[in-house]
């Protein structure tokens, strides 16, 4: 494995750990009134990582067989905690693929955020098992296949929420 791939895998693994830690902390009640803006930051940062994975050439493995790593951890408690924190703003509408499927689809932020986490955890398990190229392949493949769409949709929804909170305020009376 080249040093370039090793460096990229190390950087991505660090960002993945930061996303997972930040998401867990926010789901567990940290952030207070800044919950949504902090969630927006977490999603934007991992979106940047995905964009970087999309910009590099395809990661190609020597074999076409994924080494076994056992079952991934259950992240449903994280989804449930996020859904509870998000409350009524958990549900939103999104266009899944603006080029092929333009119908509006119902989404949940809690589902999106944990779908991203699940794909990232899977790759991190390969990384932690000493297979950084396998981890990169997984992160890149799953970015294009699943988590890239979820992170993009969540980013748009969170941006809209934060923008509404900041911009949808009552006008102050003008004193003449």
Cβ–Cβ under 8 Å, residues 123 and 16: yes
Report if residue 172 sits inside a domain. Answer: no
**How high is the pLDDT of residue 162?**
95
Interval 122-137 mean pLDDT? 95
Closest CA to 39 of 63, 22, 60: 22
Task: Tokens for 107, please give them.
Answer: 């989404």
Instruction: Report how many domains make up the chain.
Output: 1
Q: Cβ–Cβ contacts within 10 Å for residue 59, how many?
A: 18
CATH number of the domain that residue 53 is part of: 1.20.120.1550
Report if residue 129 sits inside a domain. Answer: yes
Alpha-carbon span 104 to 92, nearest angstrom: 10
Q: In terms of DSSP bridges, do strands 91-97 and 101-108 run parallel, antiparallel, or are they unpaired? A: antiparallel
Report if residue 174 sits inside a domain. Answer: no
Cβ–Cβ under 8 Å, residues 112 and 154: yes
Per-residue confidence band for 62, with pLDDT thresholds at 50, 70 and 90 = confident
**How high is the pLDDT of residue 172?**
64
Report if residue 176 sits inside a domain. Answer: no
Structural element, H or E, at residue 103 = strand 101-108
**For residue 27, is pLDDT > 90?**
yes
Quick one: CA dihedral 121, 77, 20, 97, positive or negative? positive
Report if residue 141 sits inside a domain. Answer: yes
What percent of the chain shows pLDDT beyond 70? 94
Report if residue 173 sits inside a domain. Answer: no
Report if residue 175 sits inside a domain. Answer: no
Report if residue 60 sits inside a domain. Answer: yes
Q: Which domain holds residue 73?
A: 3-167
Residue 91's Cα: distance from chain center in Å? 17
Say which residue, 68 or 45, is predicted with more confidence.
45
């Amino acid at each position: 494995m080249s040093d370039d791939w090793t460096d990229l895998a190390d950087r991505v693994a660090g960002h993945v750990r930061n996303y997972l830690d930040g998401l867990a902390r926010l789901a567990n009640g940290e952030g207070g009134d800044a919950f949504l803006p902090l969630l927006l930051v977490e999603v934007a940062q991992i979106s940047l990582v995905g964009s970087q994975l999309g910009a590099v050439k395809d990661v190609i493995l020597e074999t076409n067989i994924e080494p076994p790593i056992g079952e991934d951890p259950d992240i449903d408690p994280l989804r449930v905690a996020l859904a509870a924190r998000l409350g009524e703003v958990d549900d939103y509408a999104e266009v899944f693929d603006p080029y092929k499927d333009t119908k509006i689809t119902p989404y949940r932020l809690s589902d999106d955020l944990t779908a991203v986490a699940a794909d990232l955890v899977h790759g991190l398990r390969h990384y932690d098992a000493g297979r950084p190229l396998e981890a990169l392949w997984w992160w890149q493949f799953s970015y294009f296949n699943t988590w890239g769409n979820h992170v993009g949709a969540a980013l748009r929804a969170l941006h809209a929420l934060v923008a509404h909170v900041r911009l949808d305020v009552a006008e102050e009376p003008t004193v003449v």
